[in-house]
Structure 1
């Protein structure tokens, strides 16, 4: 049976499973509008996920065929994966921030082999051992989820109200988890009259209990040195000042007191940066730093794909430390090592 929650005020959520993922599900929100229901995110492109979404929509009193539009918080496959199928079944429009639309366009136009070569080179540069890099050199496209995502046909403009008849839903650009991640502020009184300013669909930006992955903005053709963690921390502070009455995230469950959760996340990353500086008393590659960082399980128990994500997160933290002047690359090191200053 589909798991559906009625949040009141013409907003419901459907739990859409993510295959082989500890998060379990994506919460797809169904927002009533005067022109028909609009989805916020769609879930992973998998037959079981599609069935759960279709059953959930029926439980909400609607169907896939009746969907008027799809608003995507960010391009990741557990959010954008089923968008194309929804559009095929309903004729719905799909909207996304321009920065993530460009990633979708690039993904569609880049052969998976190019990505695998790029990732292998990145892992080698990070100091990863050859036995870890080798599988990437022989990987096949089936290992690359979301290799041909649906191309959105509308652009979400930060600061503007979305074109949703009868609703006031404003886009807030919150880069960090992805360069084009958006939160969506429903500027309407809370149906239970909770204190605060409306409700916030937070995507992966603000989650209860867990911290979203902050890695590098990968682009094989872009040599810009971005600062994703800095972007994320700045975005968090903007959301904290918004003080929504309730947060409706893409995973786990709804919650209140967004400013407190923002403060917890800011403190977490400040503490983590401090811990990493102490690890960098001796020069380390980003791979070596990732191995020494504290994760939710021992390094030996972390699966292959998750290790790649961990290395990306270590690199994002290293970039932040370098930008703050708290670490620097060791001249002439290959692979590059970093040391605290």
Structure 2
């Protein structure tokens, strides 16, 4: 049975499943406008997910063909995956922040194997052992690149401009740029009185930026072909503070459940990252490669129980934390080490 929740004021959420993922589902939001219903995110590109989305809309008396537009919080496949199908079925436009559009374009233009080559180089530089690299090399040689999700994601029709209202007749939905989880992640501030008159300034569709119980993954996301050095964790922390100052009445995230007191949740996350960075400085009393640091960091399970692909994501998160510590002057690379080791300063 499709789970649909009414949030009042012409807003609903639909639980769209994510196959074989502990998150379980994406909360796709439907927003009524004077020109027709608009989706905020669409869910994973999977037949069951598509059927669930279509059935959920039907319970609200909405046909998939009636969708007027799709607003994407960020390019990840559990948010953007079905956008192309929705557009095909309805003629709806798709809107996304240009920084994430660039990621989609870059991914679509990759030749087979290019991403696996990049991952191999990155993990080698991070100090991953050969036994960890072997499956990636085998996948590359076997030509299994096309199994990676998100390679053919739809290119959007419209740019989301931070700080501006989206063109949604009858609604006031303002884009707030919140990089960190992805370079072009946006939260969407519905600047309208809360339907239950909760205190605060409207509601926030927060995507993955602000979740009630989960700290979103923050990893490195620069273009493999560019020399640009990004600071995703710094971006995320700055973005969190920006969201905390909005004073919204309620948060409608893309996972878990709606919640109030965004400012308190922001404080929790800022404190969590401050404690984590302090803990990493203590670990780096001994010079470590990013791989070694990742294996020593505290995760939701022991390192040897983390699935293979999730270990790669964890290494990227370790690198993002290292980059933040280097930028703050708390950690530096140890000269002459290969792969590069990092050590706390002072």
Q: Hey, what's the Cα distance between the residues in 1 that align with 2:3 and 2:117?
A: 40
Matched, 1:208 2:212: yes
Q: TM-score, normalising length from structure 2?
A: 0.98
Superposed CA offset, 1:35-86 (max 9, x none): 1000000000001100110011101210211000000000000000000000
Q: 2:112, 2:295 → 1: CA distance?
A: 27
Question: How do residues 73-84 of structure 1 correspond to structure 2 at under 5 angstroms?
Answer: 73-84=73-84
Name the counterpart of 2:116.
116
Equivalent runs, 1:313-324 vs 2, <5 Å: 313-324=317-328
Alpha-carbon distance in 2 for matches of 1:228, 1:117: 22
Query: How far 1:222 moved relative to its partner?
Result: 1.5
Separation (CA, whole Å) in 2 of partners of 1:247 and 1:134: 43
Counterparts in 2 of 1:253-272, with a 5 A limit?
253-272=257-276
Aligned residue among 176, 179, 192 for 1:175:
179
Greater mean deviation of Cα atoms: 270-279 or 53-62: 53-62
Contact persistence 1:83–1:150 (CA under 8 A): yes
Post-superposition offset of 1:287: 0.4
CA distance in 1, matches of 2:315, 2:247: 33
- TM superposition shift of 1:218: 4.1
1:93 alignment partner in structure 2: 93
1:310 Cα offset (Å): 0.3
SS in 2 for 1:172: strand
CA distance in 2 between counterparts of 1:112 and 1:263 reads 43
Question: Given that residues 197 and 244 in structure 1 are in contact (C-alpha distance below 8 angstroms), is that contact kept between their aligned partners in structure 2?
Answer: yes
Within 5 A, what are the aligned runs for 1:34-45?
Answer: 34-45=34-45
SS at match of 1:8: coil
- Alignment correspondent of 1:27: 27
Asked if the contact 1:208/1:252 (under 8 Å) is kept, the reply is: yes
Q: CA deviation at 1:138?
A: 2.6
Distance 1:133 1:297 in 2: 22
Structure 2: distance between partners of 1:220 and 1:266: 29
Match in the other structure for 1:302: 306
Match of 1:251 among 249, 252, 255: 255
Matched with 2:160 is 156
CA drift of 1:142 comes to 3.7
Unaligned runs of 5+ in 2: none
Cα distance in structure 2, aligned partners of 1:20 and 1:222: 33
User: What corresponds to 1:232 in structure 2?
Assistant: 236
Is residue 9 of structure 1 aligned with residue 9 of structure 2? Answer: yes
Unaligned runs of 5+ in 1: none
SS at 2:245's partner residue? Answer: helix
Is residue 112–residue 146 contact of structure 2 (8 Å, CA) maintained in 1? no
Shift of residue 220 of structure 1?
Answer: 1.8
Distance (Å, rounded) in 1 between the aligned partners of 2:153 and 2:112: 13
Q: Is the 8 A contact 1:284 1:339 kept in 2?
A: yes
TM-score (norm 1): 0.99
Match of 1:131 in 2: 131
Kept after mapping to 2: 8 A contact 1:174/1:181: yes
- Is residue 102 of structure 1 aligned with residue 102 of structure 2? yes
Contact 2:70–2:83 (8 Å) recurs in 1: yes
SS in 2 for 1:171: strand
Deviations 1:303-326 (A, max 9, x none): 000000000000000000000000
Q: Distance in 1 between matches of 2:102 and 2:214?
A: 28
- SS of the aligned residue for 2:113 comes to helix
| CA 236–340 in structure 1, closer or farther in 2 if over 3 Å, else same | same
